[in-house]
Amino acid sequence: MPRYGWVVLGVVVFLMAAGVAASGRLVPPLWGVGTFITGGALGLLLGAGLGGAALYATLRRRPWVRRATLAGIGPLLAGLLVVGLFVLRPGPATRFNDVATDLRDPPVFAVGPAAGIGYPPAWLDWHRQAYPSLASVRLPQPPDATFEAVLRAARQMDGWEVVHADRAAGIVQAVARTRLFRFEDDVVVRIREDGGKSLVDLRSRSRIGMGDRGANAQRIQTFLAHLSGR
């Protein structure tokens, strides 16, 4: 790759890597994401520009067609990575970020910025359409044993930090940090008695943004699978 191609790629990679490394540690997650996207957008722009130059050179039979092509490949791939992460990521595109297994009586957060916040009525129809199969889970053991299992499972979840546990109320609350940019989301697990057995409900809510691309629902499903040993 020509020297200027390495310079362009270096700037793009530096911005993207700095965004990931600093996010949630040195700067707020939104700043980290912004730096990452800026690097990717720069790569996409320069890669597309160099690709257009390579096409022009091919049509005009210019000698620098190979240099332009090689210089544009790296930045273009970096830009496409950003597109894949933020545009083509699978999951519902509906703009809500609060997911629960029981919409008639959603669990309530006990501590933190989400404490006492009810479920927004405007999101109920969106939720039902996006996650029709998400529901409460019944476990065969009594609530006391289930509370211990929930607490143990929450402490084992990757990126989770238990911040509140109330056996009497049947509540375990945690902060879940995303892997890449360390966004903090609130998760609460509620355990209630159900004919000598246990009824388990979860609610997962993002602190920042409007849409979550299915991240909160996936977190709930992953936890329930872990809890039941699947």
What's the CATH class of domain 98-227?
A: alpha beta
10-residue stretch averages of pLDDT, the chain, 230 residues long: 64 84 82 83 79 74 70 75 68 78 96 93 92 94 96 95 97 93 93 95 90 87 86
pLDDT (0 to 100) of residue 178: 86
Q: What is the pTM of this model?
A: 0.78
**What's residue 1's pLDDT?**
45
Q: Could you state, in order of their start, the residue ranges of all structural domains in the chain?
A: 3-86, 98-227
Provide the 8-state DSSP code for 228: T
Return phi, psi of residue 167, to 5°.
-65, -40
The DSSP string of 30-80 is HHHHHHHHHHHHHHHHHHHHHHHHHHHHHHHT-TTHHHHHHHHHHHHHHHH
Alpha-carbon distance of 150 to 147, in angstroms, equals 5
DSSP secondary structure string, 118-163?
A: PPPGGGHHHHHHH-TT---EEESS-HHHHHHHHHHHHHHSTTEEEE
Q: What was the pLDDT predicted at 150?
A: 97
Res 2: pLDDT: 52
